[in-house]
Homo-oligomer: A and B are copies of this chain.
Amino acid sequence: MKLLSKNTYVEGILAGNIVILSQAITLLESSRRDHNELAREILDSVLPHTGNSFRIGVTGVPGVGKSTFIDAIGELLLENESRLAILAIDPSSQLTKGSILGDKTRMERLSGKKNVYIRPSAAGDTLGGVGRKTRETIMLCEAAGFNKIVVETVGVGQSEVAVHSMVDCFMLLLLPGAGDELQGIKRGIMEMADFIVLNKAYEDGQLSAKAKKAIQELQNALHYFPQKKLSWLTPVKAIDALAQVQIQELKEGLDSYWNHQIQHAYFGLRRKEQESFWFHETIKQELLSKFYSKPHIQAEMKKLEEAIAQGKVSSFKAADSLLNLE
């Protein structure tokens, strides 16, 4: 990739140039430090133009129908000349190429539309990695004029925790039938959800018996989660994304949520909490990564882990001695 000047990137992004935007995102994701630094200078310049979007997170295990769902609801999000960016986070960064193609193909309605930008994102394997790159990508998209951002994650690994901490609305997709399908869902995800969406819940246009049971059980289960401080009761919405059943109604639910957030001033509050979270999370990740990347720390750490496993030293004593090596 041939690098452009910082100003060329900044002007291109602010003008809504998708090619330039894509190149800037590639700089963010690059493993080269000079690329990252240029990307961050670009980000600094466009900072006043970021933040003006409705950020929606969509998560769920593979096969739940995330892409089909985003394709269906995405059309409705394009109302009032909105511009929609879809960031698909692939936690298995080495394998992205296959799923990118898959995602684009599955979003038949949206791909190719001029107001829609679909961008797969290789995530990296730390909370910090997913968080920083995706969050900065969101900001660049906002600067380029996208006012609806959908972030899609597979509901496994740490990526959904990161995504929850950067969106205004977090949607969890589930399938009726519970049991087996849900085992991939990680601890705490149910509690993070602002919406629970039960996909493939209709058969021949009718709510299936399995779906009815799942709705009842999910609603009961939600009683056992901590009440959100935002005074929003997480609804369970049954849809069929492929057959387009209840998509319009779900979109109206999103609008209500949005109005509720604005009305109660929770929107700004949540964003501020997220900024503060990422400030400290970034510091934590950097301090840890600096410490653990030192070769002599790594060597001693292995020895200490063995000694702990054999009961020769307590974990605290081992930690102390590793810290003393710094």
Which residues of A line the B interface, CB within 8 A? 40, 43-44, 47-48, 51, 132, 135-136, 139, 178-179, 182-183, 185-188, 190-191, 217-218, 220-221, 223-227, 272, 275-280, 282-284, 286-288, 291, 304-305, 308-309, 311, 313-320, 322-323
Nearest residue, chain B, Cβ from A297: B283
Nearest residue, chain B, Cβ from A216: B220
| B183/A315 in contact, CB under 8 A | no
> Hey, which chain B residues are within 8 Å of A315, CB to CB?
275-279, 282
| B185/A226 in contact, CB under 8 A | yes
| A286/B323 in contact, CB under 8 A | yes
> Hey, which chain B residues are within 8 Å of A178, CB to CB?
223-224
| B221/A220 in contact, CB under 8 A | yes
Q: Which of B47, B187, B316, B323 contacts A188 (CB 8 A)?
A: B187
> Hey, which chain B residues are within 8 Å of A277, CB to CB?
315
The 4 closest A-B pairs by CB, nearest first: A282-B319, A221-B221, A279-B315, A278-B315
Cα(A278)–Cα(B308), bound, Å: 11
Cα(A105)–Cα(B128), bound, Å: 48
Q: Known interface pairs A221-B220, A287-B291. Does A47 touch B275 (Cβ–Cβ under 8 Å)?
A: no
Would you mind naming 9 contact pairs between A and B with Cβ atoms under 8 Å apart? A43-B314, A43-B317, A187-B188, A190-B224, A221-B221, A276-B309, A279-B304, A279-B308, A287-B291
